[in-house]
Amino acid sequence: MKEFDPNRLARLATRAGIILMRSGAETYRVEETMNYILKSYGASVCDSYATPTLLITSFSLDGELYHNIKRVKMGDIDLDKIIKINDLSRLAYKHDLSLEEFEKRLSDIENEASFSLPFKIFGAFICAFGFAFFFKGDLKDALCAALIGSFIEFLLIKISHLSFPNFFKYVFLSMILTLFSIIMALIFKCDRDIVTISSLMLLVPGLAITNAIRDSVSLDLVSGLVRASEAIINAAAIALGSLLVMLMMRGL
Amino acid sequence: MFMSFFAAFGFGIIFNIKGKNLFFAGLNGMIGGIVYSLIKENGNIFLAQFIASLVITLFSIILARLLKAPLTTFLIAALIPLVPGGGMYHTMLSIVNKDLDTALMTGLDTLGEACAIVMGITFMSGLELALNEWFKSRAHHL
């Protein structure tokens, strides 16, 4: 009954797993989706193990045992891809989708463009704008924070492709941010604290925090620890960056 | 306090949520912001963080069921406004000003607020897992 290459199935399942993990899905969702895909093509005894850095899958098909191991690198967060792959795996389970069709749709999802750069900067703009009011600032503070926020988002996207340690990227960004908000506060007489906090919130590792908690709750402890350390390192980098600038400003 | 809608909405764009999910992520953030502000004005800030994160996670579970999308889509963007960024900043400001008493006090407060959020999500996520198990076993029996 084997009308496809089982190795190809193993590759496709791990590929879907990698996209999910990079886009920021929880660990149990990655494991479950991979098992789901394998089962929909007739595999039995499916075992998948996922951490934010490594994927392992193993299944048997017609009495033969197959494995695949893949290294995962952290990538751009893209929650839309998680929704689409989830739908795709459900579709493959309910209807008979040929492996070629599945691969084609998976590639489509993988290559799908995220929001354009100007739109993401606009997102950062309204984000910092909203935060300034949330922290009880006025319109002037909100506009300053939004300007700094959109500039920081622009830099964040521009330097995200550099193979430079994430820690230093965040230190650098948070230094620039604090410096700019001090300058803005001097020029426009807005509240320095509110402007800094509102734009700093853009760098907060929200996804890492949320996933660290949710992974730990569902007893994926390794993933939980990895995400938690990621969140702590990022938060420390942000704090260090603005601390450095504030110390320098005090020295002047 | 309605402004946390824009904060969550903006984060939704950065995290690439599309279509109607984006609007609902923002709405979830607004609900969290309102609950947080209301309880904070009439009482304890830790309680405010705890209840707000409970409510946000609960709404994410409901939205995920209704819209058939993963729960994280609605949770992450809505949760970020609750993260005690202000507390972290003021702790650092006190350290820079060599006011270690205030730094320690705000620092511990911030840590407590973060713990309150963690407790809220943990509680609701655990409840969600238990409910899922229950639904599965019931479907099995039928």
What residues of chain A, 99 to 138, have a C-beta less than 8 Å from chain B? 114-115, 119-120, 122-135
Q: How far apart are the C-alpha atoms of A195 and A185, rounded to whole Å?
A: 8
- Please give the structure tokens belonging to residue A149: 């926020």
Chain B partners within 8 Å of A202 (Cβ): 14
Q: What is the mean pLDDT of residues A175-191?
A: 88
- Contact (CB<8Å) B81/A218: no
CA gap A159, A164 in Å, rounded: 9
The whole-number pLDDT of residue A2 equals 54
Q: Please tell me which residue of chain B has the smallest CA distance to A248.
A: B96
Place of tokens 């300058």: A183
CB contact under 8 A, B81 and A25: no
- Mean residue pLDDT of chain B comes to 88
Distance of CA B112 to the CA centre of its chain: 15
Q: Rounded to the nearest 10 degrees, how much is the dihedral formed by the CA atoms of A145, A146, A149, A150?
A: -150
Using a CB-CB cut-off of 8 Å, the residues of chain B touching A134 are 1, 3-4, 7, 33, 81
Contacts of A193 in chain B (CB under 8 A): 86, 89-90, 93
* pLDDT higher than 90, residue A173: yes
- The answer to whether residues A122 and A150 touch, using CB atoms and an 8 Å cutoff, is yes
This model of the complex carries an ipTM of 0.84
Q: Span B29-42, mean pLDDT? A: 89
C-alpha to C-alpha distance for B36 and A191, rounded to whole angstroms:
23
The number of domains in chain B is: 1
Rounded CA separation A159/A129 (Å)? 23
Biggest CA–CA distance in chain A, Å, is 77
Q: Is the pLDDT of residue B139 over 50?
A: yes
Return the beta strands (E) in A4-112 as ranges.
44-50, 54-61, 64-71
Rounded-to-integer distance, Cα A55 and Cα A35, Å: 12
Strand order in the sheet with A44-50: A44-50, A54-61, A64-71
- Give me the pLDDT at residue A134, please: 85
For residues A40 and A113, give the distance between their C-alpha atoms in angstroms, rounded to a whole number: 28
Q: If you write DSSP's letter for every residue of A2-31 in order, what string do you get?
A: --S-HHHHHHHHHHHHHHHHHHT--HHHHH
Give yes or no for A82 touching B (CB within 8 A).
yes
**Is the pLDDT higher at B47 or at A251?**
B47
Q: How far apart are the first and last CA of chain A?
A: 77
pLDDT for res B108? 93
User: Which pLDDT score is estimated for B132?
Assistant: 82
pLDDT, residue B104, reads: 93
d(CA A175, CA A173): 5
Measuring CA to CA, how many Å separate B88 from each of A178, A196, A222, B83, B121?
14, 11, 27, 10, 21
Look up residue A20 and give its amino acid: L
The pLDDT value given to residue A148: 92
Put simply, the chain A residues between 30 and 59 with a CB less than 8 A from any chain B CB are: none
pLDDT at B29 over 70: yes
Identity at A123, one-letter amino acid code: G
> Tens digits of per-residue pLDDT, B100-120?
999 999 999 999 999 999 999
With beta carbons under 8 A apart, name residues in chain A contacting B92: 239, 242-243, 246
Per-residue pLDDT band at A252 (split at 50, 70, 90) = low
Query: Does the pLDDT at position A178 exceed 60?
Result: yes
**Which residues, in sequence order, are bridge partners of residue A56?**
A49, A69
Strand partners, A69: A56
Structure tokens at A145: 């924070």
Residue with tokens 């713990």: B115
Is the minimum CB–CB distance between A243 and chain B shorter than 8 Å? yes
Q: Give the minimum alpha-carbon distance from A120 to chain B in angstroms, rounded to a whole number.
A: 5
Nearest to A134 among B11, B73, B81 (CB): B81
Q: Write out pLDDT tens, residues A49-92.
A: 999 989 999 999 888 899 899 998 877 888 889 999 988 988 88
Around Cβ A18, how many Cβ atoms within 10 Å?
A: 20
CA angle (B23 as vertex; A23, A210 as ends), nearest 5: 40
Q: If pLDDT is split at 50, 70 and 90, which confidence band does B54 have?
A: very high
How deeply is A70 buried, as exposed, middle or buried, from its count of CB atoms within 10 A (0-12, 13-18, 19+)?
middle
Number of H helices, E strands in chain A: 10, 3
B 10-69 residues with CB < 8 A to A:
10-18, 21, 33, 68-69
The domain limits of chain A are 6-111, 117-251
State percent of chain B over pLDDT 90. 29
Bridge partners (DSSP) listed for residue A64: A61
CB-CB under 8 Å, B4 with A134: yes
- pLDDT category at A1 given cuts 50, 70, 90 is very low
Rounded to a whole number, what is the distance in Å from the CA of A5 to chain B's nearest CA?
Answer: 31
Any idea of the CA torsion for A17, A21, A22, A26, to the nearest 10 degrees? 150
Q: Which two tokens stand for residue A9?
A: 């199935």
Contacts of A122 in chain B (CB under 8 A): 13
Query: Does the distance separating the beta carbons of A218 and B72 come in below 8 Å?
Result: no
Angle between helices B4-14 and B20-41 (to 10 degrees): 140
**H or E stretch including A37?**
helix A27-40
**Chain A residues with CB-CB distance to B67 below 8 A:** none
Whether A132 has a pLDDT exceeding 80, the answer reads yes
Mean pLDDT of A1-5: 67
Q: Do B12 and A213 count as a contact with CB atoms less than 8 A apart?
A: no
Search chain A and give the residue with CA nearest B78: A206
Asked if A201's CB is within 8 angstroms of B81's CB, the reply is yes
pLDDT value, residue B86? 85
Local confidence band at A250 (pLDDT 50, 70, 90 cut-offs): confident
What average pLDDT does chain A have?
Answer: 88
